[in-house]
Amino acid sequence: MRTHKASSVTEDGKPDGFVVPLQYCPEVSPDGTTRLKISAGPADLPRVHRALITAMGDKLGVLYIQLTDRRAGRHLAEKPNRFLAVEIPVAHVLATFSGCEDLLYGDGRGQVWVRGMLGEQLILDEMGVIYAYPDDPMYRDALEAEAVPKDKAQSLDERDYVRVEFMASADAQEDKLMGDLRLQPWTDGS
């Protein structure tokens, strides 16, 4: 069984027994926009993520944000590497993601942002939490179809101590993601 991208731990780094709940809840993001926060453990995360992507439409943009260069042993917190591709058919995105499951769902080196043609956005962060912008019926319908309950139990991003996991097997998948989606280096001007 695949590990989760991150796990809740005690202050000294030992697992504390927290189980990531399967749930979603509406919230207001720090910039004032509405969004859904979705929590899913390792067994459910790929399925839920794919269902949300499928709801977004025919063509998508993908932004991969590399927060840690595992091979170089460097955390890139100050200036993460960003790679972008636009107008990718959803079937191609889903096929590529299926071949990169260790990277996307078991490794915490980065984030994947998927954007629809109308500006809707889905963020899978480095802890395995998904944020769907805006809080839209298409996302709620997809979550209902996947039997994800609406709840407000504590999620991983609210824990005091979280350890992010890194997998050597995800190195080749990172290359695959970049190549298959033809991701190009991108800067946002900041």
Query: pTM value?
Result: 0.93
| Other CB atoms within 10 A of residue 25 CB | 16
pLDDT in tens, 30-62: 889 999 999 999 999 999 999 999 999 899 999
Per-residue pLDDT of the chain (190 residues; tens, 9 = 90+): 457 899 999 999 999 999 999 999 999 988 899 999 999 999 999 999 999 999 998 999 999 999 998 888 888 878 899 999 999 999 999 999 999 999 999 999 999 999 999 999 999 999 999 999 999 999 999 999 999 999 999 999 999 999 999 999 899 999 999 999 999 999 876 5
pLDDT for residue 38: 97
Instruction: Write down the pLDDT at residue 3.
Output: 74
Using CB atoms within 10 Å of the CB of residue 189, give its burial: 0 to 12 exposed, 13 to 18 middle, 19+ buried.
Answer: exposed
Q: How far apart are CA 59 and CA 158, in angstroms?
A: 33
Contacts of 130 (CB under 8 A, 6+ apart): 37, 38, 39, 40, 45, 48, 49, 52, 122, 123, 124
Q: How many CB atoms lie within 10 A of CB 39?
A: 25
Mean pLDDT in the chain? 93
Percent of the chain with pLDDT over 90: 84
Per-residue pLDDT, 74: 83
Interatomic CA distance for residues 57 and 173, integer angstroms: 25
Q: Look at residue 103 in the predicted model and tell me its pLDDT.
A: 96
Instruction: Please enumerate in sequence order all residues whose Cβ is within 8 A of that of 79, keeping only pairs 6 or more positions apart, or say none.
Output: none
Which tens digit of pLDDT belongs to each residue from 124-138? 999 999 999 999 999
Q: Counting Cβ atoms within 10 Å, is residue 12 exposed (0-12), middle (13-18) or buried (19+)?
A: exposed
**Contact (Cβ atoms closer than 8 angstroms) between residue 56 and residue 50:** no
Which amino acid, 127? M
* Interacting residues of 98 by C-beta distance below 8 A, sequence separation 6+: 50
User: For residue 97, what pLDDT is reported?
Assistant: 98
